[in-house]
């Protein structure tokens, strides 16, 4: 299953560097103390807010000490034990690039992926190929998180660290998170799946994991890393992935040699990062949530009704009532902006890492401010649109689910959207 899904992914992750670590502990209870994924305490009662009487406020920074969290609240399920195959390594002759603290980096040139555990003899034969300087096996497999297929490797943090790009190897928070049994996602997977740093995710039939960090590993088709122990609990397959290091100029020859040694169904993938082992330091998260940004101008309407209507025009096919419903559930239309217990911020309750990817400058002042409704509401439209909301129907439902991974949340939002449509024909 791991191989089938891996081969279906088309993009080679070529950019090294971006590392984001969730620094806030992510509790699953909101500031209002409700069940995660349920209606926040700040939301109005059975009636709808009069959007024509609510004026957006563009002040920067938190306006309320307690906000509502966009948490992802699946229940914990049983774990599945699994064995872990020991790593096989060729005599290590690493490139002398340093990842800090004397760590010698050995950037992977190839990743071999097998349908089952690679035989010890095959691993040794690949390790013995000319120009191979290091080869190491890892557990891996495909799991489903809230029904979505995700490809993971299970690693020993200290042993895997030398395989990472320099910027990632130097980011201690990544390796501490793995040692704690938390999930570290590849940056591309965070965007593709709409993941939120600091949130908890339920592995179908397995443990519940906190997404503690994201980083660019440059491994095609690998969506994230967990520790070996966590991998055993998830039932990942032992020794199905083999990373191979050698001189960059020998990569083609290494791939040809490895393919000759492999059985039916095994795949050889050329991997690596554009920045190489000495890639510059990680780009740090802008903790204020404000940055120079793309524009999706809606101006500064005088009331929330007009703001939601203008913002919806960013995403053809998206009704403004969906934005209004999310605005009500998340912050009661800017009256309870957080930060939440999970670190979500602003009137549309974005996590900073998600904002970094999808935040836009809505009022044309040159800055995308997570706290400003003039930026946050069109950014929510931008995020929903990226997840297919403009197509309506099941696509809209899934886009709202990406906003908060809870089907009860989806039902509430769409129910409120219907109510707003009736109230403002």
Q: Between these two residues, 93 and 171, which has the higher pLDDT value?
A: 171
Q: Which of 138-147, 162-171, 279-288, 393-402 has the lowest mean pLDDT?
A: 279-288
| DSSP string for residues in 87-125 | P--PPP-----B-STTPBP---SEEEE-SSPPPHHHHHH
The domain in which residue 124 lies consists of: 2-21+77-270
Does position 399 have pLDDT exceeding 90, yes or no?
Answer: yes
Please report whether residue 256 resides in a domain: yes
Residues 6 or more apart in contact with residue 21 via CB below 8 angstroms: 171, 173, 174, 177, 197, 212, 213, 285
Q: Between these two residues, 100 and 185, which has the higher pLDDT value?
A: 185
Same domain, 299 and 245: no
Same domain, 170 and 107: yes
Tabulate helix, strand, coil % of the chain (nearest 5): 30, 15, 50
Q: Which of 194-198, 282-286, 410-414 has the lowest mean pLDDT?
A: 282-286
Please report whether residue 36 resides in a domain: no
User: What's the confidence (pLDDT) of residue 128?
Assistant: 95
Q: Specify the DSSP element, H or E, that contains 270.
A: strand 267-270
Does position 285 have pLDDT exceeding 90, yes or no?
Answer: no
Please report whether residue 307 resides in a domain: yes
User: What's the confidence (pLDDT) of residue 138?
Assistant: 96
Same domain, 17 and 60: no
Same domain, 62 and 83: no
User: What's the confidence (pLDDT) of residue 58?
Assistant: 62
Bridge partners (DSSP) listed for residue 112: 242, 268
Same domain, 293 and 356: yes
| CA nearest neighbour of 323 among 289, 334, 191 | 334
Mean pLDDT, the chain, rounded, equals 76
Same domain, 212 and 261: yes
Q: Between these two residues, 252 and 48, which has the higher pLDDT value?
A: 252
At 338-367, the pLDDT tens digits run 888 888 999 999 999 889 888 988 888 788
User: What's the confidence (pLDDT) of residue 49?
Assistant: 77
Which pLDDT band, with edges at 50, 70 and 90, does 215 fall under? confident
CATH number at residue 325: 1.10.530
Max Cα–Cα distance, the chain, nearest Å: 74
Same domain, 206 and 322: no
Same domain, 332 and 408: yes
Number of continuous H segments (helices) and E segments (strands) in the chain: 14, 12
Q: Is 100 exposed, middle or buried (0-12, 13-18, 19+ CB in 10 A)?
A: middle
User: What's the confidence (pLDDT) of residue 102?
Assistant: 60
Same domain, 349 and 262: no
User: What's the confidence (pLDDT) of residue 38?
Assistant: 34
Same domain, 116 and 215: yes
Same domain, 56 and 82: no
Q: Number of folded domains in the chain?
A: 2
Please report whether residue 201 resides in a domain: yes
pTM for the full predicted model = 0.50
Q: Between these two residues, 420 and 275, which has the higher pLDDT value?
A: 420
Does position 378 have pLDDT exceeding 90, yes or no?
Answer: yes
Please report whether residue 34 resides in a domain: no
Same domain, 152 and 300: no
Please report whether residue 276 resides in a domain: no
Which pLDDT band, with edges at 50, 70 and 90, does 19 fall under? low
* Mean pLDDT value across residues 92-105: 54
Q: Which of 265-279, 335-349, 366-380 has the lowest mean pLDDT?
A: 265-279
Q: Which of 62-71, 79-88, 213-222, 238-247 has the lowest mean pLDDT?
A: 79-88
CA distance 337 to 332: 9
User: What's the confidence (pLDDT) of residue 100?
Assistant: 46
Q: Is 370 exposed, middle or buried (0-12, 13-18, 19+ CB in 10 A)?
A: buried
Please report whether residue 173 resides in a domain: yes
User: What's the confidence (pLDDT) of residue 21?
Assistant: 47
User: What's the confidence (pLDDT) of residue 296?
Assistant: 63
Is the distance from CB of 372 to CB of 352 less than 8 angstroms? no
Which pLDDT band, with edges at 50, 70 and 90, does 104 fall under? confident
Please report whether residue 253 resides in a domain: yes
Q: How many CA atoms lie within 13 A of 94 on its CB side?
A: 16
Does position 216 have pLDDT exceeding 90, yes or no?
Answer: no
């Amino acid at each position: 299953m791991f191989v089938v899904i891996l081969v279906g992914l088309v993009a080679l992750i070529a950019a090294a560097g971006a590392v984001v670590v969730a620094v806030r502990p992510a509790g699953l209870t909101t500031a209002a103390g409700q069940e995660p994924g349920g209606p926040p305490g700040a939301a109005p009662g059975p009636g709808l807010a009069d959007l024509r009487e609510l004026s957006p406020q563009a002040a920067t920074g938190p306006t309320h000490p307690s906000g509502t969290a966009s948490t992802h609240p699946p229940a914990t399920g049983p774990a599945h034990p699994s064995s872990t195959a020991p790593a096989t390594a060729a005599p290590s002759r690493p490139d002398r690039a340093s990842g800090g603290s004397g760590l010698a980096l050995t950037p992977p040139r190839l990743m071999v992926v097998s349908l089952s555990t690679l035989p010890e003899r095959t691993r040794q034969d690949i390790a013995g190929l000319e120009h191979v300087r290091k080869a190491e096996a890892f557990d891996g497999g495909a799991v489903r998180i809230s029904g979505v297929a995700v490809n993971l490797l299970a690693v020993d943090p200290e042993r895997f660290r030398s395989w990472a790009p320099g910027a990632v190897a130097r980011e201690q928070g990544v390796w501490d998170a793995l040692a704690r049994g938390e999930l570290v996602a590849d940056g591309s997977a965070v965007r593709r799946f709409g993941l939120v740093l600091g949130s908890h995710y339920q592995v179908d039939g397995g443990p519940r994991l906190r997404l503690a960090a994201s980083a660019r590993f440059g491994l095609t088709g690998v969506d994230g890393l967990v520790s070996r122990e966590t991998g055993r609990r998830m039932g990942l397959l032992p020794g199905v992935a083999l990373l191979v290091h050698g001189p960059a100029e020998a990569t083609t020859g290494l791939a040809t040699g490895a393919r000759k040694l492999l059985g039916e169904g095994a795949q050889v993938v050329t991997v690596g990062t554009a920045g190489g082992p000495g890639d510059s330091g990680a780009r740090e998260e802008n903790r204020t949530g404000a940055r120079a940004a793309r524009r999706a101008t809606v101006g500064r309407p005088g009331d929330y009704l007009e703001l939601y209507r203008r913002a919806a025009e960013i995403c053809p096919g998206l009704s403004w009532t969906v934005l209004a419903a999310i605005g009500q559930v998340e912050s009661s239309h800017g009256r309870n902006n957080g930060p939440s217990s999970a670190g979500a911020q602003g009137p549309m309750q974005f996590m900073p890492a998600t904002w970094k990817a999808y935040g836009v400058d809505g009022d044309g002042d040159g800055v995308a401010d997570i706290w400003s409704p003039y930026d946050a509401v069109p950014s929510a439209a931008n995020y929903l649109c990226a997840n297919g909301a403009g197509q309506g129907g099941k696509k809209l439902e899934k886009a709202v689910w990406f906003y908060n991974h809870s089907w009860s949340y989806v039902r509430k939002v769409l129910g409120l959207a219907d109510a707003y449509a009736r109230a403002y024909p």
